[in-house]
Amino acid sequence: MNAIFLSLIVASIVSLLFTGPQKVLIGLNDGASKALSFSLYMLPIYAIWLGILELMEKSKLTEKLAKLLKPFIRFLFGKQDETTENLLAQNIAGNLIGVGGVATPSGIEACTLMQKENVQVVPQVAMLILLNSSSLQIVPTTLLSLRQTYGSTNPSNILAPCLITSLLTTIFAVFMAKFFEKIKQKRSKR
């Protein structure tokens, strides 16, 4: 991120030096004040969904979802011990409903347990990372609210495309992760 940020900002300022130096200050001010108004837009949105997510955790709805996911986890990660399986379930359940707060700590724990002392990434950890970065979220809660804030006439009309895209991407991610795992196994056998 650092490299991208630096190169883009230097390129912008250098090119503005030739085309209109006064625009640099305009850009700086515009950007900063826009950032503030945007975070004021986001604050109530976060408030709503973090409130609802807190409710889901306190009423153990997240845990219940995790239990339903067990067979799916066996398929993806093979047989793991009880603790790891629970952590994986929590991580995936957290992702499904978009609770980063639940997903991240359990993801870190699960990775640490599955990775053990290995220096090279084990396939199960690679699978978890890829699964997480393909985003499993069912209802993109904050984004729906953001669409509402920006005057969408029907914020929910992205739900179906989101669901289809997430599903296809996740299937693709699982398939590719398993495929690369196989290739690697074949290579190391030689």
Partner 1 sequence: MIYIVPIFVLFVFLYGAFKKVNVFKTFCAGAYKSIDLSFNLLPTLVAIFVLLALMSQAKIDVFLANLCAPILQIFGIDKNLAMLIMLRPFSGSASLAMVESIYTNFGVDSYIGRCASVIMSSSDTLLYISAIYLSKTKVKKLGYTLPLGFLIAIFSSIVACFVCKFI
51-90: which residues touch partner 1 (CB under 8 A)? 51-56, 58-61
Q: Which of residues 168-187 bind partner 1 (CB under 8 A)?
A: 168-169, 172-173, 176-177, 180, 184
Nearest to 53 by CA among 13, 12, 8, 103: 103
Which is it for the CA torsion 39, 45, 49, 52, positive or negative?
Answer: positive
Q: Which of 71, 81, 82, 153 binds partner 1 (CB under 8 A)?
A: 153
Q: Which is nearer to partner 1, 66 or 71 (CB)?
A: 66
User: What is the closest distance, in whole angstroms, from the C-beta atom of residue 162 to partner 1 in the complex?
Assistant: 5
Q: Which of 71, 79, 82, 160 binds partner 1 (CB under 8 A)?
A: 160
Count other C-beta atoms under 10 Å from residue 93's C-beta: 24
Q: Which is nearer to partner 1, 16 or 76 (CB)?
A: 16
Q: Which of 150, 186, 188, 189 binds partner 1 (CB under 8 A)?
A: 150
Structure-token match 């890829």, residue found: 130
As a residue count, the chain comes to 190
User: What is the closest distance, in whole angstroms, from the C-beta atom of residue 73 to partner 1 in the complex?
Assistant: 16
User: What is the closest distance, in whole angstroms, from the C-beta atom of residue 34 to partner 1 in the complex?
Assistant: 5
Nearest to 48 by CA among 145, 162, 149: 145
With beta carbons less than 8 A apart as the criterion, state whether 135 and 166 touch.
yes
With beta carbons less than 8 A apart as the criterion, state whether 45 and 155 touch.
no
Nearest to 108 by CA among 88, 131, 80: 88
Nearest to 141 by CA among 91, 97, 104: 97
Regarding 23 and contact with partner 1 (CB under 8 A), the answer is yes
Q: Which of 78, 83, 108, 182 binds partner 1 (CB under 8 A)?
A: 108
Print the binding letters for residues 110-139 with partner 1: x by CB under 8 A, - otherwise.
-xx--x-xxxxx---xx-xxx-xxxx-x-x
User: What is the closest distance, in whole angstroms, from the C-beta atom of residue 184 to partner 1 in the complex?
Assistant: 7
Only one of the segments 65-73, 75-83, 140-148 lies at the binding site for partner 1 (rule: CB under 8 A); that segment is 140-148
Contacts with partner 1: how many residues (CB under 8 A)? 96
Structure-token match 């639940």, residue found: 102
State how far the Cα of 160 lies from the Cα of 139, in Å rounded to an integer. 10
